[in-house]
Structure 1
Amino acid sequence: MSGDGSRKRAEIHHEHRDVNGGWLRPSVFGVMDGLVSNFALIAGVAGGSDDTGVVILAGIAGLAAGAFSMAGGEYVSVASQRELALAEIDVERRELQRHPEAEEEELAQMYEAQGVDPELAAQVARQVSRDPGRALVVHTRAELGVVPDDLPSPWVAAVSSFLSFAVGALLPLLPYLLGVTSLVASAVVSCLALFGAGVLVSRVTARSWWYSGLRQFAVGSVAAVLTFGLGNLLGGMAL
């Protein structure tokens, strides 16, 4: 320790990725859902109709409807979750104002439950409780699993979901828009995209790239095959 009394800070040897930003889940889910649902929709319509214009119209409608639906659903879902968290944070804030001693004792008991000696737990709880803002953060993190200033944004979730779904839904439609009127071309693009999306997801999870890629490929392919068969059946019955 130097003569001026400054303390040596612990050296940080690693960093963590953002797991509470509110963008990863809607982005991943949006791309996957856009790919699978629009690929299945296009396959189903193509299975029941030989009219390329109908297939393109269905693909565009599926893209637009799905993207807006995903964005709206994510906004409402995350906003509701955020409002619930804020309401519970207000409850904790009022408790800290009305019953500071009881909240300090509760915090000490939390530390004791984690293996801290009772005297040290009481001392740490007392020091933390001196700052109401810090005490609120500690209590809400321990009791609710949230941080007041780091709640997910509904707008981030909505925009991420909209854009990712639109990108995913565009891929199986792209060959038709470029003039390739064969479902095989759409299937090839979609299957490659499904596998690639699974590989990308593995970069932010603990799964291997091949497992994640094959899993998404299998899910999307099964959905498309079943929908194509249903469309083919219904199209034949209509004729």
Structure 2
Amino acid sequence: MTSGEAGAKPEQHHRHRDVTGGWLRPAVFGAMDGLVSNFALIAGVAGGQANQNVVLLAGLAGLAAGAFSMAAGEYISVASQSELAEAEIEVERLELARHPVAEERELAGVFEARGVDPETAAEVARQLSRDPDEALEVHTREELGVTPGDLPSPTLAAGSSFLSFAVGAMLPVLPYLLGAATLWPAAIVAAAGLFGAGALVAGITTRPWWFGGLRQLLFGAAAAGITYAVGALIGTSGI
């Protein structure tokens, strides 16, 4: 063992957090969307001096309408994106079959642009191009940013959006289902949910949990307060 090897520090392995948010980010944001929008709806109806049953009906209707709307929109959006990606993948597949040499040169150019010397880039491209499936995967990942066979599921996206929105939207409705006659119990539950969701999101960032919680609570309260004022204005004016 040389003196350099003896003094070398052991290799440090580390893991990065999922900066894309994974499943947590869309789930939490879907729940927050349901919570803010439905509590604002309930607040607006309550501000118009509606009775307990009307407010409850509005909350349940808002939950159902929002959840189904979110699911339908997410399904169509993800399905359209996947269909477009599949069409472009098929274009790339045909190009690889018709012009393999040109595609191999194109792939080598991608590696060269990233700082690989021309000879090494050409050799890597040649080896990758021997397997049509591997070549297709590399080309689509480099050119389209997607991987064949690993496209997002529209059904999964729709189902997760429906569930997360419904969970959030149910929170301000629960006090009315349990017999609450005023907006205050729903406001307390909604405030706790907003703060908790904001703190949870802050947990995957560098922000303090209290900062994320207070920020989400502030924005949610502002939305509900404005809607309440609109409801009170319309209710008292007799419209």
Give the TM-score, by structure 1 length.
Answer: 0.89
Number of aligned residue pairs: give it. 229
Greater shift after overlay, 152-161 or 199-208? Answer: 199-208
Question: Shift in Å at residue 17 of structure 1?
Answer: 4.0
Unaligned runs of 5+ in 2: 1-11
Question: Shift in Å at residue 182 of structure 1?
Answer: 1.9
What amino acid is the match of 2:123? Q
1:14 equivalent in structure 2: 15
Matches within 5 A, 1:214-225: 214-225=214-225
2:192 equivalent in structure 1: 192
What amino acid is the match of 1:193? G
2:131 equivalent in structure 1: 131
The CA RMSD over aligned residues, in Å, is 2.1
1:5 equivalent in structure 2: none
**Could you list the per-position Cα deviations for residues 17-72 of structure 1 after superposition, in whole angstroms to 9, with x for gaps in the alignment?**
49497x55542332111101100000000000241000000000000111111100
Identity of aligned residues (%): 65
Matches within 5 A, 1:124-203: 124-203=124-203
1:94 equivalent in structure 2: 94
- Please state if 1:232 is matched with 2:232: yes
2:35 equivalent in structure 1: 35
Contact 2:21 2:204 in 1 (8 A): no
Question: Shift in Å at residue 16 of structure 1?
Answer: 5.8
Greater shift after overlay, 195-204 or 86-95? Answer: 195-204
2:56 equivalent in structure 1: 56
What is the alpha-carbon distance in structure 1 between the residues aligned to residue 88 and residue 21 of structure 2? 18
What is the alpha-carbon distance in structure 2 between the residues aligned to residue 92 and residue 203 of structure 1? 40
Unaligned runs of 5+ in 1: 1-10
Greater shift after overlay, 206-215 or 222-231? Answer: 206-215
Question: Shift in Å at residue 202 of structure 1?
Answer: 2.3
TM-aligned CA distance change 1:193 to 1:74, over 3 Å: same
Q: State the SS of the aligned residue for 1:214.
A: helix
